[in-house]
Amino acid sequence: MRKIAFICGPALGHVSRLLSIAESLSREGGTKITFITPDHGSHAFPLLKGKYDVIGVPVAKAALSLPAGEFGAGLEQHFASHGYDAIVQDLCPLRWMSAVRLPDCPRVVVTNFFLTARFGADTVQTDWFRTIRGQVNDWRRQRGLSAIQSAFELYEADRVLLADPPGLICGMAELPSAYRLCGPCAWTPDGDLPASVSELDRLLLVTLGSTGKRMFSAGVMEALKEWAGCGASLFAGGNGGDYLRKGIVDHAHPWLPLEPVLARSRLVVTQGGAGSTYMALAAGLPVIVLPGHRNHEIMGEVLQAAGCGLCGDPSDMAAELSRYSFDEMSAKAREIARPLAEIDGPGRAADEIVDLL
């Protein structure tokens, strides 16, 4: 029985992406997967309950602004008494993994192409590293690790699995030898839609994940609905009740299986998280990105450059729409979606992990 540690950040996108890969690995059999995550606020605990063992690494609340030191120490303590054949990680490596000595086994990083050195964008991580470089490298020296010069170094591993649609990265130069383009790795709950949702169609779907905090006006929603020819707006997510009470959206549900909702939608609004954004593209739908931070903004810029989405500030969005054709954007989204029907992202990722063992 091969033992694999899946180290995930607390955000829903990181947990659900690793869950999709874990499920593919489990179907192949012969693996024992243990999830390891911070013990504060991680979506791993409710999402993985009854599916996989989950280890919570203690991190004091006072350390959450930069938990790499405490989280790294907790990981080292766990690895001292638990052996693994491979480590798979999906998180912000600067925040969580920049000061840890890992055991001598193959390591896999799951990420998006636009966060790597090959793409070369200035990300949340590269900007933050400029301010915490001294602290991170002090921790590393104390643990006998070499100093790092860039946050990009933390994304390198024996395998770097890019969970992105091929149609978005075809303009990049040849990938490094350790990189593999796997395709999107998204997870959505099973189940039937509530009757109130199953009766809807031509939806404007709003899904902001666990990191989308940006409030926008009812006027923006109405402008988007008119531009895309939508009949109603639906918020899928935990804080949708706030948008419903303020009259910003027509319907809201805290937890929905996205695939059947997407089949009833014409346009999707996300915060720029890879999970919901790539699920929308796979359904052939254009995406409006209202970014919560710089990495979300990069995702939106990539979509806009590809012609399948728009990125911007909600206050400016209504005025921007007149410059773009919804029909042309929809056609481009469908073009990007076509090859995705033949790509099993989680399955490809699972195969790459097995190949290292």
Phi/psi region, residue 30 (left: phi>0; alpha: psi -120 to 50; beta: rest), is left
- Mean predicted confidence (pLDDT) in 283-290: 96
Q: Supply the mean pLDDT for the chain.
A: 92
pLDDT in tens, 209-231: 755 566 678 888 899 999 999 99
Phi/psi region, residue 29 (left: phi>0; alpha: psi -120 to 50; beta: rest), is left
What is the reported pLDDT for 112? 97
> Do the domains 195-324 and 2-187+343-356 match in fold?
yes
What is the reported pLDDT for 41? 78
Backbone angles phi, psi at 94, to 5 degrees: -70, -45
Count other Cβ atoms within 10 Å, centred on residue 188: 18
d(CA 287, CA 293) in angstroms, rounded, equals 17
Burial readout 192-225 (b: 16 or more C-beta within 10 A, e: otherwise): ebeeebeebeebbbbbbbbbbeeebeeebbebbb
Q: What angle do CA 321, 323, 328 make, to 5 degrees?
A: 85
Return the DSSP state at 175.
P
What is the reported pLDDT for 172? 63
Domain 195-324 fold is: Rossmann fold (3.40.50)
Of residues 188, 191, 190, 184, the one with CA closest to residue 347: 184
pLDDT-based confidence at 171, cuts 50/70/90? low
Q: Are strands 232-236 and 31-38 parallel, antiparallel or unpaired?
A: unpaired
Domain 2-187+343-356 fold is: Rossmann fold (3.40.50)
For the chain, give every domain's residue range.
2-187+343-356, 195-324
pLDDT in tens, 18-59: 999 999 999 988 999 999 999 987 888 998 989 999 999 999
